[in-house]
Structure 1
Amino acid sequence: MKKTPSQIFKEITITLLYAIVAATIIRLFVFETMMVPTGSMIPTINIGDRLFIEKITYQAREPEIGEIVVFWTPFRDERAEKMLRTFDKMMDIFSPSEFKGHVKYVKRLVGKEGDVLTLKKVNGKWKLFVNGNIPENLKNVNYEPDGVFKYPNLWKYLDEASRLRDNEQKYRNYLYAIALKEGSELANIIFSIVGGMDPVPYGIPYYEYVDKYIKPNNIKFDDYIWVENGQVYVKIPKGFYFFMGDNSSESLDSRYFGFVPKDAVIGRPILRIWPLNNFGPVQPLPIKE
């Protein structure tokens, strides 16, 4: 029996609805994509790369130290938001409510809850020690002793500065006081992260992260960051990770913004789908000594 136009239209509509539902389920629970806005993972991942992220593995197990992980920023990164393209902004409708308006970062996991981290020079290069040893997967990675490893009070200063950001005069006075006390380099780092006025109008309202994740978990930075014989140590609290970028000198990572809650993890990048001339699996870190 020949189908009427209305029957054909109805079948097409139902098929499309099924397809949309299936695609939504896959997008929510199995795969998604991200565009990399910065060079923090060069040469492993480059600026402008679009990555295909697999979300199942880390639902079955925790990521291991040395693995590349994609996670939601536990704060609003206003500068990165400005760099997102239309497609990425549209995909924000699928984001968990907790991370609406947040962006994705891709970094390498270097510390899990309970781990103690420090940076030491080995044969003239800075290496990350985790619980007294260099993890096998990180032996070929060199890191810069910046951020909290150089300024143990950085996270506290970011919290205080960000709470003053909307009052320009108090904010300027605070940065000036930091410059007198700790040096202009630290004041510039704080301003470059927090932003809030020309020439850095956008930045990270760091106090939101502190109020959402640090204070509710009764975390006091002084309990997790300490100095012994001139060496800075950082301990990872329960329920958190510590991430760092391969391109250490150009990476805004946990050295600067702190601990990342476990529930911010999205998945692992398995495929580079853009640019087409670099299409293929996300390669492991090259061995360079």
Structure 2
Amino acid sequence: MPRLGWSLVNDEQKHHVQKIVDEVHEAVEDASEQIAQTGKTLIRWIVEWLGIILVALSAAFLIRAYVFQTFYIPSVSMVPTLQVGDRIIVSKLSTAFGDINRGDVIVFKHPPREQCGGDTGPNSDLVKRIIGMPGDELTSRNNTIYVNGKKLVEHWQHDPNLGSDIGYVKVPEGQYFMMGDNRPSSCDSRMWGTLPKSLIVGKVVLRIWPLSHFGHP
């Protein structure tokens, strides 16, 4: 019985077999190239998305650090303007550009002399309203606040009962006299003195939660 071998294959068959081998080899090379290309595409896609995420995180950090920040109201000192549980947005640009005025609601860092306790701690931020500007002279009589000898006209909601009187205060330059709208229940500049501008975080510009209270406070 003859042995099978390459010698028994004619030239046409050899050519056909060689063609198949070449096609298989070419297909393997194409597949390898496609796999390599797919790997490069996947790596490029991952790098692009990592770049997008990094940019987004950087933008969020910059916005929080220099433009806007959200805060939660933990106490009743600003009732009825701000209720416990309200969430607010604070603009930090107001401090940078000097857009701070009497009547503005301000978030600020914990004053060193604040020792009222309650819902605040030494690392917490507070929220009050500006009553006295730098250079103002303040006093109070019969639950009425006077600024530079004139009765303070208050267009915002507040408890008409002062609780604790102001006495007489001349606000130093670069500082502010702060009070809560819930006057009898607010620990403010009447207790711990005027607030240095350096402690101001920003001005409350919007209440975002709950939706029933949405808007400028």
Tell whether the structures are fold-level matches, with TM greater than 0.5.
yes
| Residue 200 of structure 2: aligned partner | 265
- Structure 1 SS opposite 2:151: coil
- 8 Å CA contact 1:127–1:134 kept in 2: the answer is yes
| Residue 235 of structure 1: aligned partner | 170
1:120 is matched by which residue type in structure 2?
R
Alignment partner for residue 49 of structure 2, among 9, 12, 33?
12
The change in CA–CA distance for 1:240 and 1:234 in structure 2 (over 3 A counts) is same
2:44 is matched by which residue type in structure 1?
Q
Whether 1:135 and 2:152 are equivalent positions in the alignment is yes
- 8 Å CA contact 1:80–1:103 kept in 2: the answer is no
Q: How does 1:2-81 map to 2 (within 5 A)?
A: 4-75=41-112, 79-81=118-120
The alpha-carbon deviation at position 4 of structure 1 amounts to 2.0
Which of 1 and 2 has higher RCO (CA within 8 Å, sep 6+)?
Answer: 1
* Structure 1 vs Structure 2 CA RMSD: 2.3
Structure 2: gaps spanning 5 or more residues: 1-36
- 8 Å CA contact 1:54–1:269 kept in 2: the answer is yes
The alpha-carbon deviation at position 81 of structure 1 amounts to 4.9
The alpha-carbon deviation at position 275 of structure 1 amounts to 2.3
Structure 1: gaps spanning 5 or more residues: 83-100, 150-231, 284-289
Alignment partner for residue 164 of structure 2, among 143, 146, 149?
146
Whether 1:113 and 2:134 are equivalent positions in the alignment is yes
The alpha-carbon deviation at position 43 of structure 1 amounts to 0.9
The alpha-carbon deviation at position 48 of structure 1 amounts to 1.1
The alpha-carbon deviation at position 57 of structure 1 amounts to 2.2
- 8 Å CA contact 1:35–1:51 kept in 2: the answer is yes
- 8 Å CA contact 1:107–1:245 kept in 2: the answer is yes
The alpha-carbon deviation at position 60 of structure 1 amounts to 1.2
The change in CA–CA distance for 1:132 and 1:138 in structure 2 (over 3 A counts) is farther
Mark the structure with the bigger radius of gyration.
Answer: 2
- 8 Å CA contact 1:128–1:138 kept in 2: the answer is no
Whether 1:104 and 2:125 are equivalent positions in the alignment is yes
- Structure 2 SS opposite 1:80: coil
- 8 Å CA contact 2:104–2:129 kept in 1: the answer is yes
- 8 Å CA contact 2:163–2:183 kept in 1: the answer is no
The alpha-carbon deviation at position 143 of structure 1 amounts to 4.5
- Structure 2 SS opposite 1:136: coil
The change in CA–CA distance for 1:81 and 1:140 in structure 2 (over 3 A counts) is closer
| Equivalent-residue separation in structure 2 for 1:143 and 1:32 (angstroms) | 32
Task: Map Cα deviations across residues 237-289 of structure 1 (whole Å, 9 max, x no partner).
Answer: 222111001111111111111111111111111222222333x2133xxxxxx
Q: How does 1:134-283 map to 2 (within 5 A)?
A: 134-137=151-154, 141=158, 142-146=160-164, 149=166, 232-278=167-213, 280-283=214-217
- Structure 2 SS opposite 1:25: helix
With normalisation by structure 1, the TM-score equals 0.56
| Equivalent-residue separation in structure 2 for 1:109 and 1:129 (angstroms) | 14
Work out the number of aligned pairs and report it: 177
| Equivalent-residue separation in structure 1 for 2:173 and 2:127 (angstroms) | 21
- 8 Å CA contact 1:116–1:235 kept in 2: the answer is yes
The alpha-carbon deviation at position 137 of structure 1 amounts to 3.6
- Structure 2 SS opposite 1:8: helix
1:268 is matched by which residue type in structure 2?
K
